[in-house]
Structure 1
C-alpha cells in the first residue's frame, strides 16, 4: 500500500496551523472542483485534497496520523504498525468531517486504501493502550504531555537536498535517538514536528510533541538571502577583460558560467533556479572579484610594467 503524505497534498508544512490547513484546502478544492476545473485529473486531485483535509483538520486524526508519518515519504510502501487499531468515535465525534463547501456527492467510499486502513469508515485510529483507556473512560484523569521546542542547526547541503539525521534527545532520565527527516527547501525558523516525542503524558495520556526549530550553519562559500544564494567568484584580470567560461560550484553540482568581456569587480551574474528549492526555487548570484596575480618574479614585474606603459588606462578617471 502506498503511503499518502497529506501535508504534501495540501502544500503545507507539518507545523501548519488549523487556519493554514483550511486556507490551503479551500484554495485547492476550488482549483480542482470537477464542476469548474479544466484539468484532466481534476476529479482525482479533488479527491486527494478532500481526503488530506479530512485527516489534517481533525485534531484527533491528525495526531494519530502524525505518530508515524514523519518516518515515510509520499509513495513509500506502507503497512500499519503492529498493534494499530481503529475505533470510531461516538456522539459528537461520529459526524463526517467534510471541508468547507464540500463537493456534492463525495463520500467515504472515495477515500484511498491508505485512509481506509487507518481510519475505516472515517473513524479515529489509535494505538493499543490509548484506545483501551478511551473505551474504559479513564481520560478524565489523564493529562496530555507538554510540547517541547529545540534548535536544530543544519547545513545548506541538507537544506538543499533534504535527508535524514539521527538526533539524541534527553527527556528527563530517558535518552532516545530519533531519526529526523529534513525536508528539502526547509527555511530558517521553520519547525520540524516529531509527534509524541515531547514530555510524556500522565495516566496513560499521549505525550506532547517535539518541535525542532531550524537554523542554517554558516557556509564557507555561500551567503543566504531567503532562498537566494550569493557566491563570490575570483577572476583573473584577463578573464574579466576578454571574457571566459569558468566552472562555478552550486549546491546541485558544478556548472559552466559565461563571464562577459569587460566584466568588473562587484558585478553580479545570475544562475536562475540554482538556489534553495521552493515554489519557486531561489537563484544563485555570482559576485565577480578580480584578483591580480602576484608580481613576485622579474618576468611578472616586466609584464605589469609593459601594461602600465602601453595601456591607456586610468582607473581613477571617474573621480574628477
Structure 2
C-alpha cells in the first residue's frame, strides 16, 4: 500500500506550500544518497521526492487530496507516464523543473534573487533523480560575478553585462537589479545557462553580487554611514545642509551645538529591503576648518576666541 504523501513529509494535510517545501528540503538533506549511506536511504529519498513532486504542484495536490493513491489516473493520458506534459511520478521522469522561483529565492520580475545558502538543493536533488531515471535532463548552471557600486545596489535598475562563453565568444546579458540587493546575494537569469540534455531545459545563469568598496560610504547590513563635513559656525549655530546620498540628495538638520562625531539618523533612507524595513542613513558630523584664513577671517576668529570662555578639555 502506498504511503500517504503527507505522512512521508511529516506535514498535516492543511500544510501551506512553504511548510511542504521546508519539510522536503530538511528530509532530502538527511536522506540524500551522497550523504546518507544507510541501505534504505535511496528508496527513502525517492519516496520523499515523489511526495514533494505531488504536493508542491497545486493541481496535482488537489487531485491527490480528492482521489488519494489513484490520483494519477485522473490526470489525463499524459499524467504519470513520463510523456509530454506529464509530471514525474512512479511511471517515469518528468521532462524538467517546474517554472517559477526555486526554493530559497525571492522573485523580482524575470529575475530571482537567492536570499542565502551555499547549496542549491533543488538543483542537486532534481538532477540526481533525472540521472537515475535517464532521458531529458536540466542543463548545468553557469556562474559569474556582478560588480555594482553602492548607488547601483541601492537604486537597482537595468544593467547590461558582457560575459565570455565556453566557445571563446562574448555575449551581452540584460539584468534587472532589484533595489537593495546585498553583497553575496545571487541573481538568477532563468534559462541562460548550459543547454539541457536530450531536449531538457537549459540551466540558469547565477550572478553573485559584489558591491565595490566606496571611499565615501560605509555599508553595515542595510544601514549606510557617511561623514558630513560642516563648518564651525554650522555646527555651533545649527543649520540645514544638503548632502549627496546613494539614493539621491538629502537635507540634513544639524542641531545647534553639534560636535564632531555626532551621528544624525535619517530613518528609512538607507539600503532598501524588498522583504521588510529599509535600513537607515547615518551622517556623522565632521567639523572642518579652513586650511588658511583671510585677514578678515583671522580677525573674526581672534575676536571669537577672546569673547568665548568655552574650553572643550574641561569636558574630558
1:262 matched to 2:257? The reply is yes
Listed as ranges, the matches of 1:1-320 within 5 Å are 22-23=18-19, 57=56, 87-89=84-86, 92=89, 140=134, 142-173=136-167, 174-278=169-273, 279-319=276-316
CA distance 1:177–1:294, shift in 2 (3 Å): closer
Deviation at 1:259, TM superposition (A): 1.1
CA distance 1:291–1:158, shift in 2 (3 Å): same
Deviation at 1:199, TM superposition (A): 2.7
Q: Distance in 1 between matches of 2:55 and 2:239?
A: 53
Deviation at 1:273, TM superposition (A): 0.7
The answer to whether the 8 Å contact 1:147/1:198 transfers is yes
**Structure 1 counterpart SS, 2:89:** helix
The answer to whether the 8 Å contact 2:53/2:88 transfers is no
Report what 1:129 is aligned to: none
Q: Distance in 1 between matches of 2:144 and 2:84?
A: 34
The answer to whether the 8 Å contact 1:294/1:300 transfers is no
The answer to whether the 8 Å contact 1:251/1:274 transfers is no
In the alignment, structure 1 segments of 5+ residues that lack a partner are: 1-19, 27-52, 62-85, 95-138
Deviation at 1:289, TM superposition (A): 0.6
**Structure 2 counterpart SS, 1:300:** helix
In the alignment, structure 2 segments of 5+ residues that lack a partner are: 1-15, 23-51, 61-82, 92-132
Q: Distance in 1 between matches of 2:226 and 2:206?
A: 32
CA distance 1:140–1:190, shift in 2 (3 Å): same
Q: Which runs of 4+ in 1 moved over 4 A?
A: 23-26, 53-58
**Structure 2 counterpart SS, 1:316:** helix
**Structure 1 counterpart SS, 2:309:** coil
Q: Distance in 2 between matches of 1:91 and 1:197?
A: 24
CA RMSD of aligned residues (A): 3.3
Q: Distance in 2 between matches of 1:158 and 1:55?
A: 41
Structure number with higher relative contact order (C-alpha < 8 Å, ≥ 6 residues apart): 1
CA distance 1:162–1:295, shift in 2 (3 Å): closer
Q: Distance in 1 between matches of 2:291 and 2:241?
A: 21
TM-score (norm: length of structure 2):
0.56
